[in-house]
Chains A and B, each alone.
Chain A
Amino acid sequence: EDKVVQSPLSLVVHEGDTVTLNCSYEVTNFRSLLWYKQEKKAPTFLFMLTSSGIEKKSGRLSSILDKKELFSILNITATQTGDSAVYLCAVPPSGNTPLVFGKGTRLSVIA
């Protein structure tokens, strides 16, 4: 059974801190790993990773994939209160079946 496990489940940091969120996965036929940010209800797309060792970057957010060890990390530097959200990791399983999501990491950034 395809599985995605995220850690930690929740995290509280102060503005300016750097955080690392973890996502490990088990999938029969790996194609990609996706990260989403969920602030209120609708998750919004952040990154899609397909190749090991190649960092994807967007502003203060970056992510990298390790296909040998079956995990990905999402880094946020110089955190701001606007980064407070649930960060979700997902993988597409075999065939055309829908994305399998982890439980998410709830990040709270306090001033």
Chain B
Amino acid sequence: GAGVSQSPSNKVTEKGKDVELRCDPISGHTALYWYRQSLGQGLEFLIYFQGNSAPDKSGLPSDRFSAERTGGSVSTLTIQRTQQEDSAVYLCASSPPGYSHPAYGYTFGSGTRLTVV
């Protein structure tokens, strides 16, 4: 596609339920990032996939959070047993190979606004 696509754009869920957020990166982009942005806060890094390497999960806030990337393309972020503090905008970004640092070529999706009630 022309850009990074995220779905759903909005999700309201009850506390304790599981949710799945999807990110479809730009075709050919090898790096994929998930960030979280809580109200009034900056972007908090969650997880990073680069090609076929093991993902960098150092930003995941708890073991309720997990992500996978199938076939080096689409990624799914799963939050189990959601809590109210999980309410935030979840942003995905991808970047192509060929930069001196993969972060330089970031293109962001429009995000998923998650509200846990």
Residue ranges of A at the interface with B (Cβ–Cβ < 8 Å):
4, 6, 9, 31-32, 34, 40-45, 48, 88, 90, 92, 96-104
Determine how close the nearest CB of chain A comes to the CB of B29; give it in whole angstroms.
Answer: 14
Query: Contacts A98-B33, A101-B42 hold; do A45 and B106 have CB atoms under 8 A apart?
Result: yes
> Closest Cβ of chain A: how far from B38's Cβ, in Å?
10
Residue of chain B at shortest CB distance from A96:
B102
How many A-B residue contacts, CB cutoff 8 Å? 63
Decide if the interface of chain A is mainly helix, strand, loop or mixed. Answer: loop
Residues of A near B111 (CB, < 8 A) are: 41-42
- B113 CB contacts on chain A under 8 angstroms: 41
B44 neighbours in A (Cβ, 8 Å): 101
Closest to B41 in A: A103
Q: Which residues from chain A contact B109 at a C-beta distance below 8 Å?
A: 42
Chain A residues closer than 8 Å to B102, beta-carbon distance: 96
Q: Known interface pairs A41-B91, A97-B48. Does A92 touch B110 (Cβ–Cβ under 8 Å)?
A: no
Are A102 and B106 in contact, with the CB atoms below 8 A?
Answer: no
Q: Inside 8 A of A101's CB, which chain B residues have their CB?
A: 35, 42-44
Residues of chain B within 8 A of A32, CB atoms compared: 101, 104
Q: Which of A34, A42, A102 contacts B42 (CB 8 A)?
A: A102
